[in-house]
Amino acid sequence: MNHFMEIKIYYEDTDCGNVVYYANYLRYMERARTEYMDARGASVKSLMDQGTLFMIVRVEIDYRSSARYGDTLLVETWVSETTGATLTFQHTMKEKTSGRLIIECKAKAVCVDTVGKPKRIPREVLEKLQ
C-alpha cells in the first residue's frame, strides 16, 4: 500500500530563482520514508532502539518540473523491491492542486546494525513494509 504525505513549500526551501533548491527534495523524501515506515508499525525510532537502522546507499532522481514557493506537494511513497538486507523505496512528488509531476525517485536502503555492518532485515519488519 502506498503512503501519501503533503509538504508545503516555504520561502526557505527555495533558491534565488524562487524554485525549490534541488537537494531539498532529498529531505522531503527522507521525511516521507519515515512516515511510510511509522504508518506501517515499523517506527524508525523503535528500530534504532533495537539496533536496526537503514542507510541510503543509492538514489536516482528525475526532476520533471520545479516546485515553487507557496506550492503544496503530495509525496507518494512505496516499497518496490526487497532483498534480504535492502529495501527500494519509490517516490513521486506532484503539485497537489494541478497534479503536475515534480520528481520521480528511487532510493535503495540497506539494513545495518549500530556500527554500520549490513544485516538481514528482521522478518517482522519486512512483512510490515511490503
Active site residues: 15
86 vs 22: CA distance, rounded Å: 26
- CB count within 10 Å of CB 13 equals 20
Residue 64: how many CA atoms within 13 Å on its side-chain side? Answer: 12
Set of cell numbers at residue 53: 537502522
- DSSP for 24-35 reads HHHHHHHHHHHH
Are the beta carbons of 109 and 89 closer than 8 angstroms?
Answer: yes
Are the beta carbons of 59 and 25 closer than 8 angstroms?
Answer: no
Task: Return the bridge partners of 53, or none.
Answer: 112
